[in-house]
Amino acid sequence: MSRKLNFNAGPGALPDEVLQQAANAVIDYNNSGLSILEISHRGNAFAAIIEESKQLVRELCELGDDYEVLWLHGGGRLQFCMVPMNFLGDDDIAGYIDTDHWSHAAIEYAQYYGNVQVLASSKENNYNRLPLWPEKIAVDLSYVHFTSNNTIYGTQWHSVPECNVPLVADMSSDIFCSRRDYKHCDMFYAAAQKNAGAAGVTLVVIRKDMLERGRRKLPSMLDYKAQAKENSVLNTSPVFAIYTSLLMLRWTKNRGIDAIEKENKLKADLLYKEVERNSLFNLYVEKKEDRSLMNVCFTAIDPGTEKSFLKFCDDRNITGVKGHRSIGGFRVSLYNAVTVRATKALAEAMKEFEQSKDN
Ligand code: PMP
């Protein structure tokens, strides 16, 4: 089968070997005579999957046993709800950093449960840069929430700041992309479908002492403490999605975070340079230090060429470069599984497209 060069924003590209291993497990999981789709979420085989995945997450994020690792349903968006449900009482205030469509959605959800103070925002600039991180954060805030990588607009906080109140990060689109101080976060989460597996499960990593900070009585499915107590098998877990995440975690460990970071920088550099050089395109994010390693966003100087560039890509087996409907243009996602070879092929296609317009 010929595989496309996949630059989709999420679900994103997965490594060939992970797909092959997942496919094998669908037919027969570890010579058990059962498909991974058929095993019980309460059996020993799945308990081993959960245990190994927890260890690998801690190892890759350089965290100790003081962090709990959970696999939950409901995608990134359910975390936009669960964070305030658990940690924001009716009269409490949480600080949010507003850098994109997703952080904005997180703010809207939080307002159902308590008060939100927007500590910094780049909304006025159409999110084409990062705001300054707030210098002073009031100690009575319940927590501060930020989005480490802004998938739609292509900005990224490259390091995790220290914070004097509990820090919660949405790392859905850049987890495991580089070495960073995960321990500066009291909680972080990532919908799996970019660097951590397939859609259908969300990785939540939370300091154990946060589990005692619940602000209201909640049904157990929505309560981090109850989920932790049941080791992510409170109800029927998405076994296959969690197994796919385990395969991604093993792949990530085998390659090593440093090697992944190096390659991500190479891919991003290659593409940003091409967009800057190419006379047909404009980068969306001007400030170099704000640019995401994961999502490279740009527009066509002549909007009339947009469609023909997409067709040009399609003819070359390149897919997933159309921008999000809210800003248009192009977005190329360079998640961990995207190869340097694929990135070079795209940069080459951009050059050829430019030449085709010259003639
Ligand atoms: N946060 C970020 C940073 C995202 O990129 C996305 C989706 N692309 C979400 C949250 C929402 O995730 P989900 O669709 O799994 O709810």
Q: Are 170 and 103 in contact (CB under 8 A)?
A: yes
Annotation says 183 is catalytic: no
Whole-number Å distance between alpha carbons of 246 and 268? 26
SS3 153: coil
Those residues whose C-beta lies under 8 Å from the C-beta of residue 183, and which sit 6 or more positions away, are 61, 62, 63
Strands 115-121 and 149-150: unpaired
Which residue has a Cα nearest atom 8 of ligand 1? 10
User: What confidence tens digit (pLDDT) does each residue in 161-198 have?
Assistant: 999 999 999 999 999 999 999 999 999 999 999 999 99
Q: Which domains does the chain have, with CATH numbers?
A: 16-255 (3.40.640.10), 256-358 (3.90.1150.10)
Reference 197, options 332, 47, 15, 4; nearest CA is 15
Which entry of 102, 174, 186, 290 is annotated as an active-site residue? Answer: 102
Q: Are 62 and 182 in contact (CB under 8 A)?
A: yes
CA of 170 relative to ligand 1 center, distance in Å:
9
CA of 168 relative to ligand 1 center, distance in Å:
15
> Which protein residues are within 6 Å of ligand 1, measured from CB?
10, 75-77, 102, 147, 151, 170, 172-173, 191
- From the CA of 147, give the closest atom in ligand 1: 3
Annotation says 170 is catalytic: yes
Annotation says 102 is catalytic: yes
Which residue has a Cα nearest atom 4 of ligand 1? 172
The vertex-82 CA angle with 81 and 88, nearest 5°, equals 90
User: What confidence tens digit (pLDDT) does each residue in 309-340 have?
Assistant: 999 999 999 999 999 988 899 999 999 999 99
Q: Are 199 and 75 in contact (CB under 8 A)?
A: yes
CA of 13 relative to ligand 1 center, distance in Å:
15
Q: What is the pLDDT of residue 358?
A: 76
Q: What is the pLDDT of residue 119?
A: 98
Which entry of 54, 194, 267, 322 is annotated as an active-site residue? Answer: 194
SS3 152: coil
The residue type of 306 is E
- From the CA of 149, give the closest atom in ligand 1: 3
> Residue 99 CA to chain centroid, in angstroms?
15
Q: How far apart are the first and last CA of the chain?
A: 35
CA of 85 relative to ligand 1 center, distance in Å:
18
The residue type of 288 is K
Whole-number Å distance between alpha carbons of 148 and 160? 8
The vertex-84 CA angle with 195 and 125, nearest 5°, equals 65
Which residue has a Cα nearest atom 5 of ligand 1? 151
- From the CA of 193, give the closest atom in ligand 1: 15
- From the CA of 10, give the closest atom in ligand 1: 8
Which residue has a Cα nearest atom 3 of ligand 1? 172
The residue to mutate among 71, 72, 77, having the most atoms of ligand 1 within 8 angstroms of its beta carbon, is: 77
* CB < 8 Å & 24+ apart, contacts of 284-291: 284/128, 284/153, 284/154, 284/327, 284/329, 285/128, 285/129, 285/153, 285/154, 285/155, 286/128, 286/129, 287/129, 287/130, 289/158, 290/129, 290/130, 290/155, 290/156, 291/154, 291/155, 291/156
Strands 167-170 and 187-191: parallel
Q: Are 129 and 155 in contact (CB under 8 A)?
A: yes
Reference 291, options 158, 93, 168; nearest CA is 158
CA of 358 relative to ligand 1 center, distance in Å:
39
Other C-beta atoms closer than 10 Å to the C-beta of 138 total: 13
List the chain pLDDT tens, one digit each, 359 residues: 689 999 999 999 999 999 999 999 999 999 999 999 999 999 999 999 999 999 999 999 999 999 999 999 999 999 999 999 999 999 999 999 999 999 999 999 999 999 999 999 999 999 999 999 999 999 999 999 999 999 999 999 999 999 999 999 999 999 999 999 999 999 999 999 999 999 999 999 999 999 999 999 999 999 999 999 999 999 999 999 999 999 999 999 999 999 999 999 999 999 999 999 999 999 999 899 999 999 999 999 999 999 999 999 999 999 999 999 888 999 999 999 999 999 999 999 999 999 998 76
Q: Are 275 and 348 in contact (CB under 8 A)?
A: no
The residue type of 167 is L
Reference 223, options 231, 214, 233; nearest CA is 214
